[in-house]
Amino acid sequence: MNEKVVVGFSGGVDSLAAALLLREQGCEVQLAALDMGVYDRKLFVRRVREAASRLSLPLEIFPAPELFKKQVVDYLAASYLDGLTPNPCIRCNARVKFFLLRQAAETFQARWLATGHYVNFGDWEDGSRVIVQGVDAAKDQSYFLQQLPVEWLPMMKFPLGKLKKEVVLDLARRAGYPLDDYRESQELCFVKDGSYADLCRAQTDNAGGPIVNLAGEVVGRHRGIHHYTLGQRRGLGVAHSEPLYVYAIDPRHNRLVVAERRELYRTTFLVHQLNWFIEPENCPRRLNFQIRYRHRPAPASMEMIDRDTVRVVFDQPQFAITPGQGAAGYVDGCLLLGGVVSR
């Protein structure tokens, strides 16, 4: 093959395995690490250099702290303070990671860019190239790529899409990657304790306020709305005969509304800021919609309001449909559109 490919490289198992597979396929591999300036910056730089050396592949580190802060960190904090629950990984992939990898591909005059995401490609009925869920359902990451511009897809490769995680781990092990202390990361790359609260606290004087029930009665006080999301149960500190959950976040009045779990199920919601992977007129009106990362896509009907907004009606009520979260529409595992759950 002997085609040049830029591989987004974190020094972790997945990006290492992706680079290894592409090299085995005959590609000329150039590693590109994106330095977001996060809290463990020195550790990150050391890790990517050691991993690149282990593979004997060239590495370039691209600094991106200002872009990352503007497009992800500041956006995340502003959204939480507005009572929304955004997904930072969706935003980062479209506005930072793949944006910079495309620039790196141009810099190195590479035909392709690749990452270690567990996704595939397929062709839709109208000939459009679309993202398809990865073979390993437990690791599928197509949900996080729902905002990628469709015009970027022709230059992308995802070599791990047809592999199970255990196969990837074996590839890394054979390449000399130390797996004795390996564990999957469960935290945001830029928040040390996995919490958004400190991030928001640095940008606001948002104080606590009332917690009310559906009747408007004050039943407690919260610590600041940025500590909460729809469906949250922990940390409310409200005594009730049944467990209570965050039902709504009201930033205008700085209050939380709580209710019993059964009140948080609904079927209908709006999705806006749409990103179409096929032409809207070619999109079926029956899809499976995923409304958060660990949510199993559920059957739904979709009604077009305009090119930027659709109304979605689930066949069965779903728990805590949360404004600000990404909503991805699938048919037979093909990602056809992505958007943001509207308030």
**Blockwise average pLDDT, block size 10, the chain, 343 residues:** 89 94 97 88 89 95 95 93 95 97 97 98 93 95 98 97 95 83 62 60 73 96 94 92 96 96 98 97 97 96 97 99 98 98 94
Q: How far from 254 is each of 119, 196, 201, 257, CA to CA, in Å?
A: 40, 18, 15, 10
How far apart CA 342 and CA 322 sit, in angstroms, is 8
Backbone angles phi, psi at 38, to 5 degrees: -80, 180
**pLDDT tens digits along 37-86:** 876 788 889 989 999 999 999 999 999 999 999 999 999 999 999 999 99
Task: Name the class of domain 4-174.
Answer: alpha beta
Top-level CATH class of 264-341? mainly beta
Q: Domain residue spans in the chain? A: 4-174, 203-262, 264-341
Q: 139 and 185 in contact (C-beta within 8 Å)?
A: no
Residue 239 DSSP SS3: coil
Q: What integer pLDDT is reported at residue 41 of this predicted model? A: 81
Strands (E), the chain: 4-8, 28-35, 59-63, 112-114, 119-123, 129-133, 156-157, 209-212, 218-222, 244-250, 255-260, 265-276, 286-290, 298-306, 309-319, 326-331, 334-341
Q: How far apart are CA 290 and CA 212, in angstroms?
A: 30
Specify the pLDDT at position 193.
56
Catalytic residues: 92, 189
pTM of the full structure: 0.93
Intrachain domains 4-174 and 203-262 with the same fold = no
> Measuring CA to CA, which residue among 18, 37, 68, 80 is closest to residue 226?
80
For the chain, helix (H) and strand (E) counts, in that order, are: 8, 17
**What's the chain's length in residues?**
343
Q: Which two tokens stand for residue 140?
A: 């599928």
Closest CA to 295 of 242, 231, 238: 231
Query: What integer pLDDT is reported at residue 38 of this predicted model?
Result: 77
Query: From the CA atom positions of the chain, what is the Rg in Å?
Result: 21
Say whether domain 203-262 belongs to CATH 2.30.30.280.
yes
Dihedral sign from CA coordinates of 195, 201, 206, 209? positive
